[in-house]
Amino acid sequence: MATEIKKVPIPRRGVDYRGKVVLAPMVRSGELPSRLLALHYGADLVWGPETVDKAMIGTTRKVHEDTKTLMWTRKPHQGAKQPPPDAKESIIFQIHPEREGRKLIFQLGTSNPDLAVEAAKLVAADVAGIDVNAGCPKPFSVHCGMGAALLKTPDLLVSILEALVEKVGSEHEIGISVKIRLLETPAETEALVRKLVATGITGLTIHCRTTPMRPRERAIREQLRMVAGVCHEAGVACVMNGDVEGRDHALSLMEEYGTDGAMIATCAEKNSSCFRAKADGGVAPWKEVVEQYLRCCMNVENRFGNTKYLLCQIIPGKQPEYKLISACKSYTKTCEMLGFEHLLDQARDVDNKFDIYPNGAKKPEAKPSNKTAMAAGGPKAEYRAQEKKPLSARGVTATPAQSEKAEGMAISA
């Protein structure tokens, strides 16, 4: 008789990672349209891109009525204590509560328990879980001790998770999880995992590479069974990440190594239909995926720069459309180049909302009103508006040469 695996209770509003094939957190590639695309093709859960705690703190939660999305926005400070009054707000995080809310995991970049709690509380009511990034090795993530840098400060990582479990997870009834990488030796990895699963988290994702390794290097799966075993002892779900190619491949790896779930990154970035099992149609042609992606982008009015970035990941580099799209600067031009005439009306509408001409040129902004004394009609304005008085009227006696010059100008006029 098989031994039943221990399971920690899943909070009322949380989700169980077991049996799930999910979208990995990816900066730029994990924005709202990409997550919606992954869900369209069958992803069970989606992770948002890493969002730094200090970026979230101070944001304002807003409802976008046209797109039915929620946005957390703030004005850029640019080092100043207060942003300029006319500064445009930046969107720090955006979600579609109806289509992804109960399947969305918010990934947090942090190295401070208090800041982590403060940032997580801003989104906790609108997502299904909070995940701490302790695995990204890129400079933007590891600075200030975040990301993979937390692997070198395990006690700090433990304190962050414990604070989130106690002050966010319990209050909002959602799960807290963490994503890590392999350490240098199996013994070090095991010691770290044992510390983390004792914090009260509901899930742990293990990226099967060490911090110095890059995506082109083959994932190391030899430690997976050990990591999964330690997680199961504590009742925590174990999700694997690294070189997972699609749903069928994910399910096969889960069975082989005993993990509870699998996370897809690179393959999902190139074609999100990899979440679809072969029996359900398998990987779709790239042009079909591109059309679906453009619909997702325009429906939520995604910034074209971000849209174009992922388009250049989906469209194969050898296709003639790749070069055409690389030169596009608007939704309208993109749809024209791809032959999506049925999307042109929506494309023009979205471009217009972003003040972009079809050729990609930015529409000129209205000149700000001049609030100086001259423009407001003060003494200077009255003075400048008057006709220039002749020298005699100003008490100045003109020389003969000046008189001749003035007379000549009057005749020519």
* Candidate list 136, 267, 274, 297, residue with the active-site label: 136
Asked whether the beta carbons of 324 and 290 are under 8 A apart, the reply is: no
- CA dist 339 and 1 (Å) reads 59
- CA dist 107 and 112 (Å) reads 15
Q: Is residue 208 annotated as part of the catalytic site, yes or no?
A: no
- CA dist 243 and 94 (Å) reads 28
Exposure string of 11-46, with b = 16+ CB inside 10 Å and e = fewer, is bebbbbbbebbbbbbbeebbbbbbbbbbbbbbbbbb
Asked whether the beta carbons of 22 and 15 are under 8 A apart, the reply is: no
Asked whether the beta carbons of 42 and 20 are under 8 A apart, the reply is: no
Using a 10 angstrom Cβ sphere, with 0-12 exposed, 13-18 middle and 19 or more buried, the burial of residue 213 is middle
Active site (catalytic) residues: 136
